[in-house]
Amino acid sequence: MQKEITVSTSKREELVDITDEVKKIVAESKVKEGLCNVYVPHATAAITINENYDPNVMVDIVNALGKLIPQGKWIHDSVDGNGDAHIKSAIVGPSETIPIKDGSLLLGQWQDIMLCDFDGPRQRKVIITVK
């Protein structure tokens, strides 16, 4: 089963929790044991799994990447000013795969699935494949 969701972002750089939407799709699939792949088909966005209980973790991730990969110093910036966004998304990666057991995602106690937008605000597609 494959579904697509759309996620709206409101800032240039932010992480948006999409765990509930992914869990709904897994439940609809009726897959008891398998895999769930969450993929974003964008060159300046990514998918990660991390803590969301404390929202400061998401802010810290954005801030840390900003310090490591600052805006405005990349060759690609001469094209459209988002060279840093391409580098950040390449490092974080476009997808995550989560095992499914007994019809549920095997996420850790503090883990959630996040869309990372590094060149927003935009509407981002996320493709969820359950097998």
| Residue ranges making up the domain that contains 110 | 2-130
In angstroms, the CA 5 to CA 57 distance is 24
CATH code: domain of residue 62: 2.60.120.460
- pLDDT single digits (tens) 51-102: 988 989 999 999 999 999 999 998 897 889 899 999 999 999 999 999 999 9
> Total structural domains in the chain?
1
pLDDT at residue 77, rounded to an integer: 75
pTM of the entire predicted model = 0.94
- C-alpha distances (whole Å) from 2 to each of 13, 25, 57, 114 are 27, 9, 30, 18
pLDDT value at residue 75: 86
Please give the distance of CA 8 from its chain centroid, rounded to a whole number. Answer: 12
Span 8-26, pLDDT tens digits: 999 999 999 999 999 999 9
